[in-house]
């Protein structure tokens, strides 16, 4: 059977480059076109030197896009929604990696993004692209929105525990530490090397836009409203997210009950790994060893005296937090094995 044709809009950015790298190795797909308004006519390796001699495509203008089987939108937030009608005409499957269609409530965009959504009538037509929560809805889907990298890390860490009924309805307090690539390819004062190097900088003590995704996705899992307080900190790493969350238990439980909760939730999930060793350097989740992989590692520590569980979750923000997760969603939508093209295990050291 002939391979299907996939094109990437905004392929010169970090998530676009990762999507291109993955699709080049996907056995069911051939890459049709890659676009970049700033690098039109240049070869792919001009933006992604790791793809030298791996990809012979050059960047085209998005105005020259041709019909294809699936279209990945890897654009800055706010750009996909403005041209969505044209993109919907070009491909039967749209996967938008930006935030433009992540939230189902139009009012949430005003709250978390500070603007009125230009196409509120389309919000409900996009499936929130987190397979571990919405696998069945993704099967055969034609419109998929990627999830935010910090939100993905937090949701995957917390979902089994909030669903278990073991957590008291006290505030859930989370902090995400994230590498510089989450800021995108366009340089700014916050990513200028003298400013970023050696930094541990709190950039969103509260009000981070990914909080909107947590409030959308986690309360339905819990079956009740949740109080969620979320902070974000920039660290010197290039890739990676580590979320540390504090949840208080309704009653004293044995540690094995926590293991049971997570094993029941993630025992058969292809990209979820439980990490909680008694000793060793990597006894808890560590983003460094997840670079380039589509895995999310989750671990926990039970503070029995304090009635608290500290949940730690980690992933590569450009992979399971963006492009890798998008390819996983594509596989589900097309009926292919979920792990196709995503088998890379990460690097160590």
Instruction: Find the CATH number of the domain harbouring 18.
Output: 3.40.50.720
* 343 within some domain: no
Quick check: 261 and 331 in contact, CB under 8 A? no
Query: 21 φ, ψ to 5°?
Result: -60, -45
173 and 270 fall within a common domain: yes
Residue 346 lies in a domain: no
For residue 287, tell me if it sits in a domain: yes
| Residue 54 placed within a domain | yes
One domain, residues 127 and 24: yes
Whole-number percent of the chain with pLDDT over 70: 100
Instruction: Give the pLDDT score at 162.
Output: 97
The CATH number of the domain holding residue 205 is 3.30.360.10
Kindly calculate the radius of gyration of the chain based on its CA atoms and give it in whole angstroms.
20
Residue 276, pLDDT score = 83
pLDDT band at 265 (very low <50, low <70, confident <90, very high): very high
Same domain, 163 and 252: yes
Active site residue 149: yes
Kindly state whether residue 345 falls inside one of the protein's structural domains: no
Q: Are residues 154 and 141 in the same domain?
A: no
> What is the residue range of 218's domain?
150-315
Q: How far apart are CA 40 and CA 56, in angstroms?
A: 14
pLDDT at position 289: 97
Which residue blocks in the chain are alpha helix, DSSP H? 14-24, 84-90, 106-112, 131-138, 149-163, 193-196, 211-222, 255-266, 323-334
Total of domains in the chain? 2
In the prediction, which pLDDT does 159 show?
98
Q: Rounded CA gap, 3 and 27, in Å?
A: 8
Say if residue 299 is in the same domain as residue 326: no
For range 27-49, the mean pLDDT: 97
Question: How does pLDDT run across 170-197, given as a tens digit for each residue?
Answer: 899 999 999 988 888 887 777 778 888 8
In a domain, 139, yes or no: yes
Say yes or no to pLDDT of 199 above 90.
no
Note whether 53 and 119 are same-domain residues. Answer: yes
Domain for residue 283, yes or no?
Answer: yes
Residues 170 and 289 in one domain: yes
b/e string for 168-195 if b means 16 or more Cβ within 10 A? eeeebebbbbbbbbbbebeeeeebeeee
Tens of pLDDT, residues 203-236: 999 999 999 999 999 999 999 999 999 999 999 9
Decide: pTM greater than 0.85: yes
DSSP secondary structure string for all residues of 197-215? TT--EEEESS--TTHHHHH
DSSP, collapsed to helix, strand or coil, labels residue 83 as helix
Q: Are residues 287 and 326 in the same domain?
A: no
Question: What's the N-to-C CA distance of the chain in angstroms?
Answer: 40
155 lies in the same domain as 176: yes
What is the C-alpha separation between 316 and 287, in angstroms, rounded? 6
Same domain, 12 and 103: yes
What pLDDT score does 71 carry? 98
Mean pLDDT score, 235-257: 94
268-324, pLDDT tens digit by residue? 999 999 998 888 899 999 999 999 999 999 999 999 999 999 999 999 999 999 999
> pLDDT over 90 for what percent of the chain?
90
Distances (CA, A) of 88 to 94, 125, 227: 7, 12, 37
Mark whether 84 and 26 lie in a shared domain: yes
Shared domain for 165 and 282, answered yes or no, is yes
Average pLDDT along the chain = 95
Catalytic residue among 55, 149, 296, 329: 149
CA dist list (Å): 146 to 74, 90, 202, 251, 325: 10, 19, 25, 36, 7
Three-class secondary structure of residue 69 per DSSP: coil
In a domain, 100, yes or no: yes
- Is the pLDDT assigned to residue 261 strictly greater than 80? yes
């Amino acid at each position: 059977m002939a391979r299907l044709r996939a094109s990437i809009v905004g392929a010169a950015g970090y998530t676009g480059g990762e999507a291109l790298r993955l699709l080049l190795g996907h056995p069911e797909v051939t890459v049709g076109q890659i676009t970049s308004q700033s690098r039109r006519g240049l070869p792919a390796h001009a933006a992604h030197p790791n793809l030298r001699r791996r990809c012979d495509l050059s960047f085209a203008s998005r105005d020259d896009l041709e019909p294809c089987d699936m279209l990945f939108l890897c654009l800055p937030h706010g750009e996909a929604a403005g041209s969505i009608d044209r993109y919907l005409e070009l491909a039967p499957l749209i996967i938008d990696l930006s935030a433009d269609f992540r939230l189902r409530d139009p009012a949430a965009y005003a709250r978390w993004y500070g603007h009125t959504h230009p196409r509120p009538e389309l919000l409900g037509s996009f499936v929130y692209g987190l397979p571990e929560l919405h696998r069945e809805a993704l099967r055969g889907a034609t419109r998929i929105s990627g999830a935010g990298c910090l939100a993905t890390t937090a949701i995957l860490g917390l979902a089994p525990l909030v669903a278990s009924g073991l957590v008291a309805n006290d505030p859930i307090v989370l902090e995400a530490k994230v590498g510089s690539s989450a800021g995108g390819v366009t340089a700014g004062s916050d990513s200028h090397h003298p400013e970023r190097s050696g930094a541990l900088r709190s950039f969103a003590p509260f009000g981070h836009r990914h909080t909107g995704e947590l409030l959308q996705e986690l309360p339905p899992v819990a079956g009740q409203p949740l109080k969620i307080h979320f902070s974000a900190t920039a660290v010197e790493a290039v890739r990676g997210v580590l979320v540390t969350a504090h949840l208080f238990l309704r009653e004293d439980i044995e540690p094995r009950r926590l293991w049971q909760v997570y094993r029941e939730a993630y025992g058969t999930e292809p990209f979820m790994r439980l990490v909680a060793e008694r000793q060793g350097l990597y006894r808890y989740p560590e983003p460094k060893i997840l670079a380039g992989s589509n895995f999310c590692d989750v671990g926990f520590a039970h503070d029995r005296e304090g009635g608290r569980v500290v949940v730690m979750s980690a992933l590569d923000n450009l992979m399971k937090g963006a492009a890798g997760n998008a390819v996983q969603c594509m596989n589900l939508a097309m009926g292919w094995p979920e792990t196709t093209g995503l088998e890379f295990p990460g690097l160590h050291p």
